[in-house]
């Protein structure tokens, strides 16, 4: 009986232990289920993470390529900036030279403007002088015209006076011949008896004597007063005197 009790007790203990083991197994199975779920969840998360990592790697590659492109662009931009700086420096130097040339040109232009203004003043002064000279020239021309008119009048008067003097001289010569014919002294006319007669007086006297035979003795006076005459007239006078003596 005691053995049976011991066996029962042992059996109860084993049953109790089995129950504990079953509970432990259940608990372990539950934990395993939880762990499996967590593992499955972790796997999905790992996949998601892997996908994310893959996408991130792709993004990183894209970003790397973009960065390389940006680096190349930046290098090119740096080179372009350096070239632009050099060009700017050269352009600045050229600009400074042009500014200097422009300043010199402005200075020359200012000098030319001053010279032009001075020349304009001189031209205005010369125009004023020319106007004065033109006015004086107009006056001189008027005076010249008046003088030419006066000279013309004087010339006409001189011609008239010359003609009048010739007429007067002819009249004086005729008067002188008449005085000679009439035997009047020649002193009043301030002519010497030895003065030779002019050709006009000679012709007038000779014609007068030939027309007046009673004046034939005057030929002797005429011949003695003109003893220096030669030629045909002298021969005519001598022949007339001889013929008159023969008669």
**CA 108, CA 209: separation in Å to the nearest integer?**
102
The answer to whether residue 48 is domain-embedded is no
The pair of structure tokens assigned to 66 is 């973009």
Domain limits at 186?
162-246
| Rg, the chain, Cα only | 82
The answer to whether residue 3 is domain-embedded is no
Total domains in the chain come to: 1
Q: 239 near 232, Cβ under 8 Å?
A: no
The answer to whether residue 187 is domain-embedded is yes
247 residues of the chain, pLDDT tens digit each = 667 777 777 877 888 888 888 888 888 888 888 888 888 888 888 888 888 888 888 888 898 998 899 889 889 989 999 998 898 888 888 889 999 999 999 999 999 899 988 888 888 888 888 888 888 888 888 888 888 888 888 788 778 767 766 776 777 676 666 666 565 544 444 444 444 555 655 665 556 555 555 454 544 544 444 444 444 555 555 565 556 555 5
Residues 6+ apart with CB under 8 A from 173: 197, 198, 200, 201, 204
The answer to whether residue 217 is domain-embedded is yes
Give the predicted TM-score (pTM) of the model. Answer: 0.29
The answer to whether residue 34 is domain-embedded is no
Span between the terminal Cα atoms of the chain, in Å: 262
pLDDT at 107: 92
Among candidate residues 224, 174, 170, 166, the one with its CA nearest the CA of residue 196: 224
Q: 209 near 179, Cβ under 8 Å?
A: no
The answer to whether residue 112 is domain-embedded is no
The answer to whether residue 181 is domain-embedded is yes
pLDDT at 13: 82
């Amino acid at each position: 009986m005691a053995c049976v009790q011991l066996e029962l007790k042992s059996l109860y203990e084993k049953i109790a232990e089995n129950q504990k083991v079953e509970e432990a197994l259940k608990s372990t199975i539950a934990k395993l289920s939880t762990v499996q779920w967590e593992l499955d969840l972790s796997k999905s998360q790992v996949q998601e993470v892997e996908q994310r990592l893959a996408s991130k790697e792709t993004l990183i590659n894209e970003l790397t390529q973009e960065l390389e492109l940006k680096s190349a662009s930046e290098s090119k931009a740096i080179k372009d900036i350096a070239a632009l700086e050099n060009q700017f420096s050269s352009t600045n130097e050229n600009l400074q030279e042009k500014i200097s040339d422009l300043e010199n040109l402005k200075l020359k232009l200012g000098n030319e403007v001053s010279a032009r203004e001075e020349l304009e003043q001189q031209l205005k002064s010369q125009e004023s002088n020319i106007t004065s000279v033109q006015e004086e020239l107009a006056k001189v021309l008027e005076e010249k015209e008046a003088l030419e008119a006066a000279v013309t009048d004087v010339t006409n008067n001189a011609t008239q006076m010359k003609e009048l003097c010739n007429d007067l001289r002819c009249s004086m010569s005729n008067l002188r011949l008449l005085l000679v014919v009439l035997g009047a002294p020649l002193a009043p006319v301030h002519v010497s008896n030895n003065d030779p007669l002019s050709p006009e007086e000679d012709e007038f006297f000779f014609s007068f004597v030939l027309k007046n035979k009673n004046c034939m003795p005057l030929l002797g006076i005429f011949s003695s007063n003109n003893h220096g005459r030669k030629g045909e007239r002298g021969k005519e006078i001598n022949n007339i005197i001889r013929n008159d003596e023969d008669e």
